Amino acid sequence: MLELKSLHKSYKMGSNYLHVLKGINFKVNEGELVAIMGSSGSGKSTLLNILGMLDSADKGSYFLDKIEIKNLDETKAAKYRNEFLGFVFQSFNLINYKNAVENVALPLYYRGISRKKRQTEALNFLQKVGLSNWSTHLPSELSGGQKQRVAIARALVSNPKVLLADEPTGALDSKTSNEVMSIIQKINNEGKTILVVTHEEEIAKMCKRVVKLKDGLIIEDKYIKQKLL
């Protein structure tokens, strides 16, 4: 489903180059639930950005569903993001003047799907995350856990091949964290490929595979026994 081959990335910091990713080889099969772990500075966010086509690699190759992702212009990157990927962020990143269902429907708008269909699809996915009663509420009227669930519904609505979650529980208490993770597990069990970036062992244990990054290299990659919620 997703394959990285000797991926390198460095950033220019003044006159020096900061080598962030020093050759990542990494393969994810369909239906996996992978936790990417690492302390800050390990390169895990950079890796996720490259996976999410929000940033491009300097060297190496990236295949997503057998399509090589390279030399993307902004328009094409936007199209691929819309079709292949769903994002869940630590800070939810909902649009604050749109209500829940409008937020969820947004990726479909950029795909050019008719209004009616967007609405039904969005409501569908809100129901999936258990928020069908909150569809007309603004983000400001929702709790943190609810916001993250809206964000997950939004990430799923376009039926992406891969769901990328960047510290999805980072801003949540442990109870709501578990709620969110149980939804992620449920989606994964339905067959969705999911990558979760986290620094919490607790969260990593809820995944099926843990990849540890340190100083731009993968130091550990193992399948674990998933802690089901």
Partner 1 sequence: MFSRDTWVEIFQTISKNKLRTFLSGFTVALGIFIFVVLFGFGNGLKNQFKEFFLDDATNVLTIFPGTTSKPFMGFKSKRQIRFENSDLSGIKENFTFFLENISPRITRYAQVTYKLESNNYRTKGVSPSEQFFEKNIVTNGRYINSNDVKNKEKYAVIGRLVVQDLFKPNENPVGKFINIDSSVFKVIGVFKDLGGDNEERVVVIPYTTRQLIEKNNSYVDQIRVSYKRELGYIGGIGFENKLKIFLKEKKYIDPTDTKGIFIRNVSKELKQNQDFSTVLQYIITFVGIGTLIAGVIGISNIMVFVVKERTKELGIRKALGATPNSVIGTILIESIFITTIFGYIGMFGGIILLNSLGSTLAENYFIKDPFINFSTAVFATIILIIFGAVAGYIPAKRASKIKPIIALRDE
Our CB check for partner 1 shows the closer of 115 and 222 to be 115
What residues between 137 and 176 interact with partner 1 by CB under 8 A?
Answer: 154, 158
Place of tokens 């607790």: 202
Which of the stretches 16-24, 62-70, 90-98, 194-202 binds partner 1 when contact is defined by CB under 8 A?
Answer: 90-98
41 alpha carbon, distance to own chain's centre: 19
Q: Does 72 bind partner 1 (CB under 8 A)?
A: no
φ and ψ of 155, to 5 deg: -70, -25
How many residues at the interface with partner 1, by CB under 8 A? 30
Q: Are 194 and 165 in contact (CB under 8 A)?
A: yes
Please report, in angstroms and rounded to a whole number, the separation of the first and last CA atoms in the chain.
Answer: 26
Alpha helices per DSSP H over the chain: 44-51, 74-84, 100-111, 115-128, 144-157, 174-189, 201-205
Which of the stretches 63-71, 94-102, 126-134, 196-204 binds partner 1 when contact is defined by CB under 8 A?
Answer: 94-102
Least gap, CB of 208 to partner 1 (angstroms) = 26
Our CB check for partner 1 shows the closer of 38 and 86 to be 86
Q: Does 1 bind partner 1 (CB under 8 A)?
A: no
* Angle at 136 (CA atoms; ends 78, 147), nearest 5 degrees: 60
Our CB check for partner 1 shows the closer of 154 and 209 to be 154
Nearest of 91, 88, 86, 129 to residue 108 by alpha carbon? 86
Q: Does 82 bind partner 1 (CB under 8 A)?
A: yes
Q: Does 22 bind partner 1 (CB under 8 A)?
A: no
Can you give the binding site for partner 1, defined by CB under 8 A? 49, 52, 54-55, 74-75, 78-79, 81-83, 87, 89-91, 93-98, 102, 106-107, 109-111, 115, 154, 158
